[in-house]
Amino acid sequence: MTGQPGGRPHVFDYLDRRAFLRVAGVSAAGAVAAACGPGSPTAPAASTATPPPITSGPPPSRLPTGPPNWDDLRSKLAGGLLRPGSDGYATAKRAFNPLFDGNNPIAVVTASSVQDVQACIQGAAGRVALAARSGGHCYAGYSVPESGLVIDVSAMNKVDIRGTQAVIGAGAKLKDVYAGLAQAGRALPAGSCPTVGIAGLTLGGGIGVLSRKYGLTCDHLSSAQVVTADGKLVTASASSEPDLFWALRGGGGGNFGIVTEFTFDTDPAPNLTVFSLHFPSGSAAGVLGAWQAWIAAMPPELWANIVLSGGSPVQCRVGGCYVGPPSGLNTLLNNLTANAGARPTQRTVKALDYLGAMNYFSGSSARQSFVASSRIITSPVDPAKIVALADGRAGMDLLIDGLGGKVGEPAKDATAFWHRDALASVQIYAPATAKTRSKVARSVGDVVAGLAAAGAGGGYVNYIDPALPDWKAAYYGDNAKRLQDVSKKYDPYNVFRFGQGVVA
């Protein structure tokens, strides 16, 4: 699928680090992440019905061998093809995270049409690894495969609002998606980083500041145009290629095929109230304990997160938004502050329209070097244990981002997104350089293990981590087997292979 699993260092699918500092009430350019709890509408139990068998036609003929004919492929493209040593290659290959600047794809294609994508697959499938790239925010760098072919779809970026639906090219960035939607008075729950691509976000699920009220981004997907491993263009929807449509909604980017276009159902654009609360040093455990109980009891109109910033002592801040006026929000915030054991040192509440709120949560477009991972909280965890994990780890942040509400309404097997019953996701984010990368990765790994020991298991595929233990079960739970079956049906020779593909 277009877009690789994972994304960038932040919450609700790629929230800029400086962004969440501002939501927390600190001077910065972005926003915070999400959180929820068992007190939100109870998620239905996973369906016990056996899904219909996945049938498949005859497999394609044997894959070709040997290197691609790059000159022949270049002649078939409306877009460009760059090889190492070509002018522009060093820039074209770059992902968002500079830690992957040393990755050297064998070629980068700037696809401008479905036909370009088809030509790439027909000319290179089986010969080299293929990686579609939309925003390039993959945590693991899978969208910049060493010695592979990058199919960059960023030029396929239309945003076309048709009544209550939005038809969006796979290369569209969130800043353009939000602008187009707002102009038409429509809204789509999605992430916050302005340069994240709609493709990778959607295919991994799509957590955002409106998720508790409106659901995940993938829950609004009506259909998708997909180029499959044999180079054919198919439409995946509830009535056409339903197995593929199921897998596209949370099965992670990089699997099954390359999506070139999405059609989403949208909602009327709401007016919102954003907020941030900054609590004093030493209060993190008390605030986290109160926050878990509070968010579980909140209506779905409220989205909130809690950010623990590592150090001695651990710093704590809460931020989010409310679908409604400040008067309704302030009562809910008073409930939290009355039980947190400490009064916030700074409290900000501000009414904004839909686009203003999305811009408020939008972070910087600047590239960032980081190591990150995730865990999932399904029931409240011991706040003292979680805070202890951040103690002394200066520069590291634990962003506890809520789910629940509308996210929890579908059954766990209704789509590929497994974590319908989650209280919250936890993102572990730590800045790193090429020199400190190994040390930082070990520190992140220690926190990941500590979170699991404290009861936070699982993981979010859009915060993909090559070192995450038992990653397939962590991302997909019991849906993993069906995802493998879908992959074998649409990609029997594993053309779209990478380190954490569903059949890897």
Q: Render pLDDT for 233-268 as a digit per residue (tens, 0 to 9).
A: 999 999 999 999 999 999 999 999 999 999 999 999
Rounded mean pLDDT of 179-204? 96
Which residues, at least 6 apart from 366, have a Cβ–Cβ distance to it below 8 Å?
none
Return the bridge partners of 425, or none: 376, 401
Between CA 367 and CA 349 the distance in angstroms is 29
Q: In this model, does residue 9 exceed pLDDT 50?
A: no
Q: Is the dihedral of CA 435, 441, 446, 448 positive or negative?
A: positive
Which residues 6+ apart lie within 8 Å of 137 measured at CB? 6, 7, 8, 14, 95, 96, 97, 193, 195, 196, 197, 200
**Residue 306 and residue 35: Cα distance in Å, rounded?**
7
Helical residues (DSSP H) of 3-113, grouped into ranges: 17-23, 70-75, 89-92
Averaged over 474-478, what is the pLDDT? 98
54 with 486: CB under 8 angstroms? yes
Distances (CA, A) of 354 to 185, 268, 325, 361: 9, 10, 13, 11
442 C-beta neighbours (distance < 10 Å), count: 11
The per-residue pLDDT for 85 is 96
pLDDT value of residue 64: 82
- Residue ranges of alpha helices (H) inside 64-147 are 70-75, 89-92, 114-124
**pLDDT, greater one: 34 or 217:** 217
Token pair 């941030």 is found at: 276
Instruction: Say whether 382 sits in a helix, a strand or coil.
Output: coil
pLDDT band at 363 (very low <50, low <70, confident <90, very high): confident
d(CA 204, CA 498): 15
* Cα gap 421→481, rounded to integer Å: 19
- pLDDT surpassing 50 at residue 124: yes
Give the number of other Cβ atoms within 10 Å of residue 95's Cβ.
Answer: 24
Selection from 255, 260, 258, 259 nearest residue 485 by Cα: 255
Q: What is the pLDDT of residues 322-338, one digit of tens each?
A: 999 999 999 999 999 99
The torsion angles phi and psi of 383, rounded to 5 degrees, stand at -60, -35
**Residue 376 pLDDT exceeds 80:** yes
Three-class secondary structure of residue 497 per DSSP: coil
- 8 Å CB contact between 7 and 375: no
What is the per-residue pLDDT across 35-78, written as a single tens digit (0 to 9) for each? 223 233 333 333 333 444 443 344 445 678 889 999 999 999 99
Among the listed residues 249, 323, 256, 313, the one whose alpha carbon sits nearest the alpha carbon of residue 284: 313
Q: Are 410 and 44 in contact (CB under 8 A)?
A: yes
Q: What is the mean pLDDT of the chain?
A: 89
Share of the chain above pLDDT 90, in %: 85
Residue 107, pLDDT above cutoff 60: yes
Confidence of residue 22 (pLDDT cuts 50, 70, 90): very low
- In the structure encoding, which two tokens stand for residue 293, read together? 């109980």
pLDDT of 211 higher than 90 = yes
Residue 117 in 3-state DSSP?
helix
Give the Cα separation of 451 and 127 in Å (integer): 41
pLDDT band at 504 (very low <50, low <70, confident <90, very high): low
Q: Give residue 21's pLDDT band: very low, low, confident or very high (50, 70, 90).
A: very low
Residue 144 near residue 103 (C-beta atoms within 8 A): yes
Write down the H helix ranges in 77-132: 89-92, 114-124
> What sign for the dihedral angle of Cα 124, 248, 188, 421?
negative
Q: What percent of the chain has pLDDT over 70?
A: 88
Q: What is the pLDDT of residue 35?
A: 26
> In the chain, count of helices (H) and strands (E)?
15, 18
Burial class of residue 85 in the structure, from the number of CB atoms within 10 Å of its CB (0-12 exposed, 13-18 middle, 19+ buried):
exposed
Whether 23 shows a pLDDT value over 60: the answer reads: no
